[in-house]
Structure 1
Amino acid sequence: MKRVLVTGAAGRIGRAVLDLLDRQGIAANALVLDDPGDLKADLVVEGTATDPQAVRRALEGADAVVHLAAIPTPERHPAEVVFATNTQATYTVLEQAGRAGIRQVCTASSTAISGLPFAARTLHPPYVPVDEEQPSQSADPYALSKQVDELTAQTMARRYGMSVVALRLPYVGGFDERLLDFAERCERDPGLHAAGLWAYLETRDAARACLLGLNPDGFHVITVAAPETLVSHPTEELLRRFHPTTELRRSLPGRTVPLNLTKATAVLGFSAELHV
């Protein structure tokens, strides 16, 4: 890679990706809604990822794309806006990348694709560890948008012969008030993160996974997370308490996260290095 376009570059993960590219000596372009003026990018384009013209400008000279631009929750915008924005952005970015001859893309999906985190009622995974083949129980626009985004990524991989990795990211935060405060609250009340299966990923690890996602050939959906949960309570005890109907398909000793991280290791060579 000589130059990478990062969409949503002013966000938490986007900034971390730019920092990592800078440390590795790889040039970066950034697509943002508003330029904050401090991004580590040679080219900063203001615009939305749903706008083909803005995306084409942002792709100038790039040979790879990390697509992070999205509305990250269904809770602060109308449902139709969340779904339409996220799916149109992913289609537009990958379509324009394909037309530009780019063949390596990593796009952000989410473990919320399960349907659990934003469900109107309590849901339980049918089995753990949750893998990429587990059917979604989505009933919210964000989870639905991520399902469509993964289908879009697979379609674009076929359409343009691109290699695309869709990373299913859990709760992401740095060792700052966001992650540590959330960890403390979950420690006091593990039910706060039961729908997210107590999974998390430190921001710098998320950035590293994004760049590793630019290496594999073909199309892949891959779950990434820290190998242990955000809380000190034993995982199997938490599952019995909060997900009593869930099938335990293998032992999850100690704080083992109830997500299957096999593909992250096998396909990306990724394992999280920064742990709470």
Structure 2
Amino acid sequence: MRIALTGGSGKLGRTVLARLRAEGHHVINFDLAGNRGAGFVRIDLTDFGQVVDAFSGVNDQVDGFDAVVHLGAIPAPGLAPDVATFHNNMLSSYNVFQAARRNGIKRIVYASSETVLGLPFDVDPPYIPVDEEYPARPESTYSLVKHLEEQMAVELVRWDPELSITALRFSNVMDPEDYARFDDFQADATLRKWNLWGYIDGRDGAQAVLKALQTAPPGFERFIIAAADTVMRRPSAELADEVFPNVRLTRLVNGTDTLLAIDKARRLLGYSPEHSWQDPR
């Protein structure tokens, strides 16, 4: 496919860019930062004119696109004032979605976030493992935007029944070099309670993007994308009982299995995490 990738210079974006190109796709990285040369175009996603023009094609590189992968955003709460986060992320996503539609692009995969599940879980989740079935519980401006993006996608696919939009609710993205500090989490179960001790290896995040591009049908779906395990060596059920004693465990959780349910992504996308922080390195 000819793929327009926003945010391909970011932490997850770099891995997604490499994986998609390794699979033979023609990918252009649209970002504010990046290395000059073929395959990179500097863009301000808050400027609709730039986005709609870019998605129509890039001179001497590609004549139009088959799909959009949208990762470009202020990537977490607290990195900018709330109003800056809202204005940048909300407007960028609207521009990307609408520019894709204006250019006849029918396949969009984008980064939603685990934060819509209620992070940092200062208020108990309704049950554990958490999944996509309960209503969004945004607790920050960043998370509010992610929720509004999902609602926007619901309406856009209603307007255009041929359109496919997939929201990937990524957990905390980690690269292999990040795993050395996981030992620091082990002594205190509360240090990583904020996302139920979850994470996602960037390489598995890229796998999820690829699977969504390959398999997502028309319409809108949201998926939690996390590793198969937690950041802890202690059993997950033991952690949940200690830190969230009043929350119902809805099923048997074996060993260090993730408490961010990835069953839906496994079933509908064929997503299958291949990497763990505890793998021999």
**CA distances 1:230-255 after superposition (whole Å, capped 9, x unpaired):** 11011111111111221111111211
Counterpart Cα distance in 2 of 1:154 and 1:135? 14
Q: Residue 153 of structure 1 corresponds to which residue in structure 2?
A: 153
Q: Residue 231 of structure 1 corresponds to which residue in structure 2?
A: 232
Which one-letter code corresponds to 2:155 in the other structure?
Answer: T
1:152, CA displacement in angstroms? Answer: 1.5
Q: Residue 53 of structure 1 corresponds to which residue in structure 2?
A: 49
Instruction: Give aligned pairs, total.
Output: 267
1:115, CA displacement in angstroms? Answer: 2.6
Counterpart Cα distance in 1 of 2:229 and 2:34? 36
Does 2:64 align with 1:68? Answer: no
| CA 179–151 in structure 1, closer or farther in 2 if over 3 Å, else same | farther
Which one-letter code corresponds to 2:261 in the other structure?
Answer: N
**CA distances 1:135-157 after superposition (whole Å, capped 9, x unpaired):** 33323101111100111222222
Counterpart Cα distance in 2 of 1:268 and 1:180? 30
> For structure 1, which segment, 48-57 or 214-223, has the greater mean C-alpha deviation from structure 2 after superposition?
48-57
Q: Alignment RMSD, CA only?
A: 1.5
Which one-letter code corresponds to 2:272 in the other structure?
Answer: S
1:262, CA displacement in angstroms? Answer: 1.5
User: Contact between 2:117 and 2:130, CA under 8 Å: does it hold in 1?
Assistant: no
Counterpart Cα distance in 2 of 1:76 and 1:236? 33
1:19-98 matches, within 5 Å, as 19-37=18-36, 42-59=38-55, 60=57, 61-98=64-101
- Which 5+ residue runs of structure 2 have no aligned equivalent? 58-63
User: Contact between 1:29 and 1:58, CA under 8 Å: does it hold in 2?
Assistant: no
User: Contact between 1:4 and 1:29, CA under 8 Å: does it hold in 2?
Assistant: yes
Q: Residue 255 of structure 1 corresponds to which residue in structure 2?
A: 256
Q: Residue 274 of structure 2 corresponds to which residue in structure 1?
A: 273
**CA distances 1:116-151 after superposition (whole Å, capped 9, x unpaired):** 22x7xx221110111112233323101111100111
User: Contact between 1:106 and 1:211, CA under 8 Å: does it hold in 2?
Assistant: no
1:206-217 matches, within 5 Å, as 206-214=205-213, 215-217=215-217
**CA distances 1:69-90 after superposition (whole Å, capped 9, x unpaired):** 1112221211111122111111
Give TM-score scaled by structure 1 length.
Answer: 0.92
Counterpart Cα distance in 2 of 1:98 and 1:253? 44
| SS of structure 2 residue aligned to 1:222 | strand
| SS of structure 2 residue aligned to 1:192 | coil
**CA distances 1:210-238 after superposition (whole Å, capped 9, x unpaired):** 12111311211011111111110111111
- Which 5+ residue runs of structure 1 have no aligned equivalent? none
User: Contact between 2:165 and 2:220, CA under 8 Å: does it hold in 1?
Assistant: yes
**CA distances 1:163-209 after superposition (whole Å, capped 9, x unpaired):** 11100100111101x3432x222223332210111111111110111
Residue identity over aligned pairs, in percent, reads 35
Counterpart Cα distance in 2 of 1:234 and 1:272? 19
Give TM-score scaled by structure 2 length.
Answer: 0.90
Does 2:175 align with 1:174? Answer: yes
Q: Residue 117 of structure 2 corresponds to which residue in structure 1?
A: 114
**CA distances 1:49-102 after superposition (whole Å, capped 9, x unpaired):** 221122123321211011001112221211111122111111110100011111
Counterpart Cα distance in 2 of 1:216 and 1:22? 19
Which one-letter code corresponds to 1:80 in the other structure?
Answer: V
Counterpart Cα distance in 1 of 2:8 and 2:53? 15
User: Contact between 1:7 and 1:66, CA under 8 Å: does it hold in 2?
Assistant: yes
Q: Residue 183 of structure 2 corresponds to which residue in structure 1?
A: 184
1:25, CA displacement in angstroms? Answer: 1.4
| CA 58–190 in structure 1, closer or farther in 2 if over 3 Å, else same | farther
Q: Residue 60 of structure 2 corresponds to which residue in structure 1?
A: none
Q: Residue 3 of structure 2 corresponds to which residue in structure 1?
A: 4
Which one-letter code corresponds to 2:70 in the other structure?
Answer: H
User: Contact between 2:52 and 2:102, CA under 8 Å: does it hold in 1?
Assistant: no
Counterpart Cα distance in 1 of 2:230 and 2:106? 35
